[in-house]
Amino acid sequence: MIVVIKPNTTAEQTKDVVDKITSMGYGVNVSQGAERLIIGVLGVREDKDMLAAQLRSFECVDRVVSISRSFKFVSREGTQAKTVVRVNGDVHIGDSAVHVIAGPCTVEGRDMLLDTARFVKSRGATMLRGGAYKPSTSPYSFQGMGKEGLQILAEARADCGLPIVTEVMDPRDVGLVSEFADVLQIGARNMQNFNLLKEVAKAHKPVMLKRGLSATVEEWLLAAEYIYAGGNHEVILCERGIRTFETATRNTLDLSAVPLLALLTHLPVIVDPSHGTGKWELVTPMACAAIAAGADGIMIEVHPRPADALKDGFESLNFEKYAKMMEAVRPIAAAMSRPIASDSRPAVQVTSG
Ligand code: PEP
Ligand code: MN
C-alpha cells in the first residue's frame, strides 16, 4: 500500500501519518519525489483495509493506493496452478477440455427433465442443469418444484449418468440441496447473500457462483473469496451477463471478463449465454465466442418445447437447435486446442448424489 502526501504538507503533518502507520505495527518507507512525498506501508495484516480507510481521513493525504489484491485466496498471485474442480469424481471443470452443462431453466416435471437429460447427454453434455428453487423477480411467477424437483433431478442423474447442478437460494436449504446436487449453484441475485456464501463454504459440494446482476469483477471475486476462505475450495465462476444501459438484450454478456479472470484468479470460469443474452438466436454465437475467449465451459438452457416453458423459453434452445449448437462449438474448441469434454473421454458414469 502506498500513501501519497499532498504538496505543501508540513513535516509535522507527515509525522502524524507515519506515527499512525507504525502505531498499528506496520513498517514505513518514506520517499521524497520531485513533487510529492510518498510513504510505502510495509507488512501484510488483516487490518490493512481499515488502516487504508483511516489514512484517507488525514487532511494531508492525497490518496491511498492498494498494491496487493483485496481477494487473496482466489487470486492468481498466491496459487499459480489453475484449480480443477472435480465434480462427482468424474467431471473435471478447469482441465484442458470445454464442458457443456445443459438442461431446462426449471424442472417442470419428470418426463420433460428425463427427455432433456437423455438428449443433451447424447449430444455431448457432461452435466445437467435445472432449477428446483427459482429466484423469480416477480412473486407471481413460478417458484420451482422445491424438494420434488430435486428428487426428479436425482432420478435423471441415475437414469442418464450426468451429474447435476441446481440452485440453492436459502442458507436453511443448503443441507437439503447438498443431499441431491453435485454442484450447488448460487444465482446472480444471491451473489452477495453473504450468509448463503458462508453456508455453502461449509458444504462438501462444489459451488458454481454466478456473477451478480451489477457486480464488478472484484466484487464477484470477493464473493468467491467468502466461499474459499470459509473452507470450500471447489468454486466455479459463471459469467451470466450484467445489467447495462442496453435493453436490446436481457443482459450484457461480459466476455472480456473471461480472459481477465484468467489473469486474476486460478478458479475455473464458465459462461451462460442463455441468461447472458436472453435470446435463443444469440445463444449459439455467444457460446462460440465464450469458448474462443477461453471459457472452461458453457451452460445452456435447453427445453423440449420452449414455447410451453414455464420460464425462460425465449432463451432456451429446443433439441434440434441444441444439437446444431454442439456442432457449431466443436471447431471453435478445436481451434483453441481444447476438446469438448465428452469427445475426449468415456461416457460419464455417476451413481450417487
Ligand atoms: C439460472 O441459471 O437458472 C438463473 C436463474 O440464472 P441467474 O441467477 O444467472 O439469473
Ligand atoms: Mn433461466
What does the pLDDT look like over 249-271, one tens digit per residue? 999 999 999 999 999 999 999 99
CATH code of 53's domain: 3.30.70.1140
Query: Among 168, 185, 253, which residue has the most ligand 1 atoms within 8 Å of its CB, making it the best to mutate?
Result: 185
Question: Who wins on pLDDT, 135 or 299?
Answer: 299
314 in the same domain as 283: yes
**Pick from 33, 38, 41, 35: which is nearest to 14 by CA?**
38
181 in the same domain as 59: no
What does the pLDDT look like over 194-228, one tens digit per residue? 999 999 999 999 999 999 999 999 999 999 999 99
232 in the same domain as 178: yes
Report how far ligand 1's centroid is from the alpha carbon of 275 (Å). Answer: 7
Report the alpha-carbon distance of residue 198 to residue 228 in Å, rounded. 9
CATH code of 109's domain: 3.20.20.70
Helix or strand (DSSP H, E) at 28: strand 27-32
pLDDT at residue 148 is higher than 60: yes
Evaluate whether 341 touches 97 at the Cβ level (below 8 Å).
Answer: yes
In the listed set 37, 66, 95, which residue is the last one of a domain according to the structure? Answer: 66
Tell me the mean pLDDT in the region 310-321. Answer: 98
Q: Does any domain span residue 258?
A: yes
Q: Does any domain span residue 350?
A: no
Ligand approaching nearest to the C-alpha of 309 = 2
Q: Does any domain span residue 76?
A: no
What does the mean pLDDT of the chain come to?
94
Protein residue closest via CA to atom 6 of ligand 1: 187
192 in the same domain as 43: no
Q: Does any domain span residue 268?
A: yes
Ligand approaching nearest to the C-alpha of 250 = 1
Report how far ligand 2's centroid is from the alpha carbon of 183 (Å). Answer: 17
Q: Does any domain span residue 349?
A: no
Q: Does any domain span residue 162?
A: yes
Model confidence at 137, in pLDDT bands (50, 70, 90)? Answer: confident
25 in the same domain as 113: no
136 in the same domain as 32: no
314 in the same domain as 197: yes
* Structural domain range at position 309: 85-344
105 in the same domain as 223: yes
Q: How far is CA 194 from the centre of its chain?
A: 15
What does the pLDDT look like over 222-237, one tens digit per residue? 999 999 999 999 999 9
Model confidence at 353, in pLDDT bands (50, 70, 90)? Answer: very low
Model confidence at 69, in pLDDT bands (50, 70, 90)? Answer: confident
60 in the same domain as 119: no
Evaluate whether 55 touches 64 at the Cβ level (below 8 Å).
Answer: yes
What domain count does the chain have? 2
135 lines ligand 1 (CB under 6 A): yes
Ligand approaching nearest to the C-alpha of 303 = 2
174 in the same domain as 42: no
Look at the block and give the residue holding cell 472480456.
256
Q: Does any domain span residue 286?
A: yes
Polymer length of the chain? 353
60 in the same domain as 181: no
Model confidence at 5, in pLDDT bands (50, 70, 90)? Answer: very high
All three cell numbers of 274, joined, read 442463455
48 in the same domain as 89: no
